[in-house]
Amino acid sequence: MTLPDHAIVSVPATTTNIGPGFDCLGAALSLRNHFTFTRLDQSIEPVQISVSGLEAARVKTNETNLAYQAFAKLFQHLKQSPPLIKLEIRLGVPLARGLGSSATAIVGGLVGANVLAGSPLSEAELVAIAVDMEGHPDNVVPAMLGGCRLAATDLNGEWAIAPVPWHSEIVPVVAIPDFELSTAEARRVLPAAYSRPDAVFNMGHLGLLLRGLDTAHSDWLRAALQDRIHQPYRRSLILGFDAVEAAAVAAGAYGLVISGAGPTLLALAHADIAPLVAEAMKAAWEDQGISVQAQALHLDPTGVSVQV
């Protein structure tokens, strides 16, 4: 069998948690990173990496690059040496902002390696390795599969993944500030255990959110975006959170949550007012002296895609 020498892997950004769905709910968004893998016959280095686009200078260009680590991990899983490659990364997803940049790198590297290896692994096997690398499923699952997804383990510890219907009138609006917050730092502030009232609060609100996303029932959505597992501990890490939340709600959004581990803030809004909500969030954050990019996005239905 002749193996492919080349693969262009495109992976969407993701927003996760969406309020009460900590570490289990996530959705793919209409921003993408591209990873181009080209097999080399000869090279002094195992990988030659170049990066272009948004904040390119901040991405590592040696073997510690996360996309290359994922590429090498797949070959390790296959008990093979990774081929020598050139890896070109084109960035459209901002780094360390709560939009799943690390998940794009993990999914891009694993899928690129799988293509160059002749596609020996199934989608489910790739998802399992990706979750293992990322540590939680909520970014890598929608990055791989597209849409909004809920992921939980079954009785054997395998991932049971359900698509979550998302009504077309509900628009995700993101405000992306010009400062970073690493996921590791934002996880360090979380408690190790929670009270029964907090657990029950989140179970009820996650259930309500799933029904609200399906129906666009505004009262359910307004109530559902509350959470007691992560946001109470993280909001103080995000300068301007209260002002941006108040502005989004005043502009008519159903509510505002931290996207992933932050600092990007995500509002859900009816399609008719989504651009106004984006403007209000931007203005409120800029009033705090913070540069911000705000935009109404849409759900990415596809997930990872490959051109050989």
Ligand X SMILES: Nc1ncnc2c1ncn2[C@@H]1O[C@H](COP(=O)(O)OP(=O)(O)OP(=O)(O)O)[C@@H](O)[C@H]1O
Integer angstrom CA distances of residue 193 from 126, 198, 201, 230, 287 = 30, 10, 14, 11, 36
Q: According to CB under 6 A, which one of 32, 34, 230, 282 is a site residue for ligand HSE?
A: 230
Whether the ω angle into residue 172 lies within 30 degrees of 0, i.e. cis, is no
Q: How far is the CB of 259 from ligand X (least distance, A)?
A: 7
> How would you class 305 by CB atoms within 10 Å of its CB: exposed for 0-12, middle for 13-18, buried for 19 or more?
middle
Residue 91 interacts with ligand X (CB under 6 A)?
A: yes
Integer angstrom CA distances of residue 58 from 21, 53, 94 = 30, 11, 10
Residue 202 interacts with ligand HSE (CB under 6 A)?
A: no
Residues 6 or more apart whose Cβ sits within 8 Å of residue 207: none
Contact predicate 288/242, CB 8 Å: no
**Can you say how many angstroms the Cα of residue 37 is from the centroid of all Cα atoms in its chain?**
22
Residue closer to ligand HSE, measured from CB, 186 or 306: 186
Give the residue closest to ligand X by C-beta.
Answer: 260
Q: According to CB under 6 A, which one of 83, 255, 260, 263 is a site residue for ligand HSE?
A: 260
Q: For residue 306, give the H/E element and its range.
A: strand 305-307
Residue 137 interacts with ligand X (CB under 6 A)?
A: no
Residue 14 interacts with ligand HSE (CB under 6 A)?
A: no
Q: According to CB under 6 A, which one of 72, 85, 99, 208 is a site residue for ligand X?
A: 99
104 is in an annotated binding site: yes
Residue ranges in contact with ligand X by CB under 6 A? 33, 59, 65-67, 89, 91, 95-105, 139, 182-183, 260-261
Q: Which residues bind ligand HSE (CB under 6 A)?
A: 16-17, 22-23, 136, 138-139, 183, 186-187, 230, 260-261
Binding site, annotated residues = 94-104
